[in-house]
Amino acid sequence: MTAEPFTRPARDARQVLADAAAVTGPAVREAVTRLPHRIRHPVGMHFGWWDTDGTELSAVTGTGKSVRPALTLGACAAVGGSRSAGVAAAVAVELVHNASLLHDDIIDGDLTRRGRPTLWARMGVPAAVLAGDALFFLAVHVLATAQPPMDTSAGVAVLTASVQELIEGEYTDTLLEGEGGTGASLKEVQAMAAGKTGALMAAACALGALAGGGDEPRVAHLRAFGAHLGAAFQLVDDLLSIWGDPQRTGKPAGSDLAARKRSLPIAAALGADDPAAQQLRALYACPGPLSSAEQELTARLVEQAGGRAWARHECERHTRQALERLHGARPEPGAGAELTALARLLTTRDH
Amino acid sequence: MTAEPFTRPARDARQVLADAAAVTGPAVREAVTRLPHRIRHPVGMHFGWWDTDGTELSAVTGTGKSVRPALTLGACAAVGGSRSAGVAAAVAVELVHNASLLHDDIIDGDLTRRGRPTLWARMGVPAAVLAGDALFFLAVHVLATAQPPMDTSAGVAVLTASVQELIEGEYTDTLLEGEGGTGASLKEVQAMAAGKTGALMAAACALGALAGGGDEPRVAHLRAFGAHLGAAFQLVDDLLSIWGDPQRTGKPAGSDLAARKRSLPIAAALGADDPAAQQLRALYACPGPLSSAEQELTARLVEQAGGRAWARHECERHTRQALERLHGARPEPGAGAELTALARLLTTRDH
């Protein structure tokens, strides 16, 4: 079965993302004003609203792509919810996403995010730990006080379960990093990606559907749509970070290779029974960073061992399954068309 | 008005604490089994259940004093709730407490807790950040799925608000540390202590009362009981860390002084208009750690500037107000007597 768009969407996918950002951005900011005043400062710095000394920044840049809020608002509309009904859920998802970024940047030691220094790099680990904690609980608060038809108990249950999957994915990632390049099986890397990327995208859709008053089967279908979309999205990301155009991805090609990350195409190639895979395993087992020439060789070996083809195939499979589950939710036609367009945009970036 | 015990309590306060630990401990452990399996490992290490390699430790030691669970179970009984009704709320409070300890130990760089190495010192910052996150969300989950008569929406609202106060207190603490010894006013230090200690003890009591089906005025009274008790408890702690017997407190006398902490008696003395206070401010303004002789001088100056007397007086005032609010809640006599005994134990340790 091939699930095709319902109708020509009223807005194209980029417009859907921009509109989601325009609706969710101010609502996120309003939610943050409910935090006690001191912790608001590092939180606002993370969002790029103000400077170290509290100066309001005139142009807010680097707010992220609003993928998750767009999914939430789309899922809400898909079950017939009003535009305003999904906003609280979209805000909650965006807050959780940002909380996890704050903690993730500490964990990975990342120095920049969205073109700005990360919060821990600028204000220290304590501020970033606590700002993340504050955003996690603000998300719970926003969701728990959402208006009907949202079933807030069901919403909090979806959120807490998804965040536990997200945490498990992040923790698994730290364990796999520790084990060295060849230690992780493809299955483990897939489970990690499902937690790190899939769980919150699934929650974004499920919470949108709950906010719109969707019944249990529609919520379950939309949740699965988000999970498959998350899996496909992660595969695209992994493919781009090896073979993408650095001008378009904004990060150097091969950075995953240089760091010997166990991204999905690499894990698939490492697990293959093939001379290229054997050579790849030997390369990954050597200590120290890979030289530029070794990175090029690695990329070729991943391709020869079938990692690239596998990842593309898996990406298509998850995209197809996502669209099937979207159809299964019997979405309102306009919203269904927009979610389909969004799914296509997120999964067919140049790879 | 002096609030006196209602009757002779059936159990003395130490027995109340031991019973709370006996009831809550296994329930906390049961709750942790609901976490995904990998993150359970660092969480269990934090609780002292198993070793780095996963070996079950035969004797679980250093589980904490169970002050907060005892308050929750006591508040539940005080409004006529059954013994089992308060357990989920007690578990939620204990989980939040432990999550905040995990993050606090990272923030403060503390190497030991309850006689064991802290989790971040043993397993690294990433494991401790994520284990704390997992416990925070487990607390929300446990509370959100508590059985009637608990009003779970009200419970989640109390929990999220209290955790925000707790985070604000912890963040304020890091800011005051950064400002140097003389920068913080007594008012700021009081607000910080109310957040760091008072918020969760207030939540423990409010959640117990909600779990027992208490009406809004009783919940509010018991919440205030917990807040005042927390304030008194913190004052005792601060007094003991300057003048306590190291054999009984388990930490070296003067450690707050050596680190130039802004504990409550010290903040009160620093703000006094008095020659001793002036000398104290000069001492606190010097860089570098205080020698043992300087610590003794500092302790004398804090006393001369009135910091010790002020703290004792404030402790008595908060204890009195706590007991008045307990009376205001019209507690069941047996539970009221036990909560009174608990309040006395926590606020009249030797100082």
Give kind and range of the element (H or E) at residue B244. Answer: none
Burial class (CB in 10 A: 0-12, 13-18, 19+), A273: exposed
The reported pLDDT for the residue numbered A213 is 97
Helical H segments across B244-332, by residue range: 246-249, 255-258, 264-270, 275-285, 292-304, 307-328
Q: What is the pLDDT of residues A264-287, one digit of tens each?
A: 999 999 999 999 999 999 988 887
Cβ distance A254 to A238 under 8 Å?
no
CA A184 to chain B, closest CA, distance in angstroms equals: 14
Please, which residues bridge with residue B56 across strands? B50
- pLDDT of A4 > 80? The answer is no
Q: Report the alpha-carbon angle A81-A85-A86, nearest 5.
A: 90
The reported pLDDT for the residue numbered B273 is 93
Q: Is the dihedral of CA B69, B75, B77, B81 positive or negative?
A: negative
From the candidates A142, A156, A159, A172, which should be mutated to test the interface with B, based on the most B CB atoms within 10 A? A156
Amino acid identity of residue A144, one-letter, is A
Is A258 touching B (CB cutoff 8 A)? Answer: no
Helical H segments across B86-151, by residue range: 87-108, 119-123, 125-144
From the candidates B120, B137, B165, B170, which should be mutated to test the interface with A, based on the most A CB atoms within 10 A? B137
**Could you identify the residue written with the tokens 């607000």?**
B191
- CB atoms closer than 10 angstroms to residue B125: 18
The reported pLDDT for the residue numbered A1 is 46
Closest C-alpha to B157, from A107, A137, A130: A137
Rounded to whole angstroms, how far apart are CA atoms B172 and B268? 17
The reported pLDDT for the residue numbered A32 is 97
Q: What is the mean pLDDT of chain B?
A: 91
Q: What is the pLDDT of residues A19-61, one digit of tens each?
A: 999 999 999 999 999 999 999 999 999 999 998 888 888 766 6
- Chain B (2-41) residues lying within 8 Å, Cβ to Cβ, of chain A: 35-39
Q: What is the pLDDT of residues B129-183, one digit of tens each?
A: 999 999 999 999 999 999 999 999 999 999 999 999 999 999 999 998 766 545 6
Closest C-alpha to A160, from B106, B214, B135, B99: B135
Closest C-alpha to A77, from A282, A218, A251: A218
Please, which residues bridge with residue B117 across strands? B112
Stronger pLDDT, A111 or A2, i.e. the higher one: A111
DSSP E strands: which ranges in B210-254? none
Q: What is the pLDDT of residues A57-108, one digit of tens each?
A: 876 666 678 999 999 999 999 999 998 999 999 999 999 999 999 999 999 9
For residue B116, the SS3 value is strand
Distance of CA A197 to the CA centre of its chain: 4
Is A109 touching B (CB cutoff 8 A)? Answer: no
Rounded to whole angstroms, how far apart are CA atoms B341 and A91? 45
- pLDDT of A163 > 80? The answer is yes
Chain A positions in Cβ-Cβ contact with residue B145 (cut-off 8 Å): 157
Is A146 touching B (CB cutoff 8 A)? Answer: no
Stronger pLDDT, A176 or A204, i.e. the higher one: A204
Q: Which CATH superfamily is domain A13-333 in?
A: Farnesyl Diphosphate Synthase (1.10.600.10)
- pLDDT of B309 > 70? The answer is yes
Is A191 touching B (CB cutoff 8 A)? Answer: no
Q: Which residues contact B22 (CB under 8 A, 6 or more apart)?
A: none
Binary contact (B141, A130; C-beta < 8 A): no
Rounded to whole angstroms, how far apart are CA atoms B249 and B237? 9
Chain B positions in Cβ-Cβ contact with residue A171 (cut-off 8 Å): 38-39, 42, 126-127, 130
Chain A positions in Cβ-Cβ contact with residue B44 (cut-off 8 Å): none
- pLDDT of B5 > 60? The answer is no
Rounded to whole angstroms, how far apart are CA atoms A226 and A243? 25
The reported pLDDT for the residue numbered B44 is 96
Joined together, the tokens standing for residue B72 give 């929750």
Is B147 touching A (CB cutoff 8 A)? Answer: no
A112 phi and psi, to 5 degrees? Answer: -130, 155
Q: How many residues does chain A have?
A: 351
Which residue of chain A comes nearest to B132, CA vs CA? A133
Rounded to whole angstroms, how far apart are CA atoms A220 and A217? 5
C-alpha neighbours within 13 Å on the C-beta side of residue B190? 13
Q: Average pLDDT in the A221-246 region?
A: 94
Binary contact (A42, B171; C-beta < 8 A): yes
For residue B35, the SS3 value is coil
Joined together, the tokens standing for residue A172 give 């698994």
Q: What is the mean pLDDT of chain A?
A: 91
Q: What is the pLDDT of residues A170-200, one digit of tens each?
A: 999 999 876 654 567 899 999 999 999 999 9
Q: What is the DSSP letter of A120?
A: H
- pLDDT of A244 > 60? The answer is yes
- Chain B (292-351) residues lying within 8 Å, Cβ to Cβ, of chain A: none
Which residue of chain B comes nearest to A141, CA vs CA? B160
Cβ distance A302 to A242 under 8 Å?
yes
Q: Which residues contact A56 (CB under 8 A, 6 or more apart)?
A: A49, A50
Joined together, the tokens standing for residue A312 give 């593309």
Among A107, A129, A163, the residue with its CB nearest the CB of B107 is A129
Q: How many residues does chain B have?
A: 351
Q: Average pLDDT in the A124-128 region?
A: 97
Stronger pLDDT, B121 or A259, i.e. the higher one: B121
Is B125 touching A (CB cutoff 8 A)? Answer: yes
The reported pLDDT for the residue numbered A114 is 87
C-alpha neighbours within 13 Å on the C-beta side of residue B330? 6
Is A57 touching B (CB cutoff 8 A)? Answer: no
Helical H segments across B145-211, by residue range: 152-179, 186-193, 199-211
Chain B positions in Cβ-Cβ contact with residue A38 (cut-off 8 Å): 168, 171-172, 175
For chain B, how long is the longest CA-to-CA vector?
A: 60
Q: What is the DSSP letter of B262?
A: -
Q: How confident is the model at residue A288 (pLDDT cuts 50, 70, 90)?
A: confident
Cβ distance A240 to A351 under 8 Å?
yes
Amino acid identity of residue A238, one-letter, is D
CA B92 to chain A, closest CA, distance in angstroms equals: 13
The reported pLDDT for the residue numbered B1 is 46
Joined together, the tokens standing for residue B154 give 């009200």
Binary contact (A141, B161; C-beta < 8 A): yes
Q: Which CATH superfamily is domain B13-347 in?
A: Farnesyl Diphosphate Synthase (1.10.600.10)
Chain A positions in Cβ-Cβ contact with residue B163 (cut-off 8 Å): 133, 137
Chain A positions in Cβ-Cβ contact with residue B102 (cut-off 8 Å): none
Q: What is the pLDDT of residues B249-272, one digit of tens each?
A: 666 667 777 777 789 999 999 999
Q: What is the pLDDT of residues B71-106, one digit of tens each?
A: 999 999 999 999 899 999 999 999 999 999 999 999
- pLDDT of A351 > 60? The answer is no
Binary contact (A171, B39; C-beta < 8 A): yes
Stronger pLDDT, B48 or B247, i.e. the higher one: B48
Is A52 touching B (CB cutoff 8 A)? Answer: no
Q: Average pLDDT in the B237-259 region?
A: 78
Is B136 touching A (CB cutoff 8 A)? Answer: yes
Binary contact (B164, A125; C-beta < 8 A): no
- What residue segments make up the domains of chain B, in order of their start? 13-347
Distance of CA A293 to the CA centre of its chain: 31
Range from A231-235, B123-127, B258-262 carrying the lowest mean pLDDT: B258-262
Among A37, A126, A163, the residue with its CB nearest the CB of B137 is A163
Among A103, A138, A152, the residue with its CB nearest the CB of B129 is A103
Is A201 touching B (CB cutoff 8 A)? Answer: no
Among B39, B140, B167, the residue with its CB nearest the CB of A133 is B167
